[in-house]
Structure 1
Amino acid sequence: MKELPPLGNDATVRLSRQGGVTAMLSRPREIEFAQCSLDEREQICSLLKGCLPLTSSESGRGDQRFYQIEVRFRQDERDDQLMLQVPEEQAPGELVLLWDKGQVS
């Protein structure tokens, strides 16, 4: 299973909903950690850790919708990225809220 690396001020989380026509019409949500409070960052990291066991490489097959989470960060003096795909029917409510409203709670 993937692990969430430590995320600092330079981290960016990009959320998009994939699959289906309505998903194509929606814009991705981008969250820059530099613009978040420490409490917001902790909530987002907790949410991302909770999504790790839900990720599936099978997402998007057939007519299945899913949330794609791209985490961009710096580690060991280099840019890195983590990509997660969470099936829509398994997505926690907090993930849907973060994608829809840009807030965890």
Structure 2
Amino acid sequence: MKSLPPLGDDAVVRLSRQGGVAAIHTLTRPREIAFAQCNIDQRTRICSVLEGCLAIEDPASGRGDQRFYEIEVCYRIGEQDDRMVMKVPEDRAPGELVHLWDKGEVL
């Protein structure tokens, strides 16, 4: 299983909802959360949500018009930029992830 890399001030989390019968950009409602703008409690809760998603992520999500949440985590290790992408089926998504995508805020 994948593990979450250390996320510092430079980390950015991008969330969107994908899939379905018709791909309509306005329905994806992409969100971007910059760790530099979050306090330590918010970062801890976001990391907790991301770690929970690692256990249920499925790279095959989106087949058969299934909706899924795409989570892109952009981070830096030393001098190198890196990223991790997860696909979480909508029907298995934790409530905290749905809230984060829907409201753009941490519970």
Deviates more, 1:25-34 or 1:89-98: 25-34
TM-score under structure 1 normalisation?
Answer: 0.95
Paired residues for 1:16-95 under 5 Å: 16-20=16-20, 21=22, 24-26=25-27, 27-95=29-97
What per-residue deviation string (whole Å, max 9, x for no partner) do you get for residues 1-47 of structure 1?
Answer: 11100000000000000012376323200000000111000000011
Question: 8 Å contact 1:17–1:23 — kept in the other structure?
Answer: no
Structure 1 residue ranges without an equivalent (≥5): none
What per-residue deviation string (whole Å, max 9, x for no partner) do you get for residues 31-73 of structure 1?
Answer: 0000011100000001100100111011000110000000000
Instruction: Give, in whole Å, the separation in 2 of the partners of 1:19 and 1:25.
Output: 12
Other-structure match for 1:8 = 8
SS at match of 2:70: strand
The alignment's C-alpha RMSD in Å is 1.2
Q: Partner letter of residue 48 of structure 1?
A: L
Runs of 4+ in 1 over 6 A off after TM superposition: none
Instruction: Give, in whole Å, the separation in 2 of the partners of 1:23 and 1:88.
Output: 16
Instruction: Give, in whole Å, the separation in 2 of the partners of 1:78 and 1:22.
Output: 33
Instruction: Give, in whole Å, the separation in 2 of the partners of 1:24 and 1:64.
Output: 16
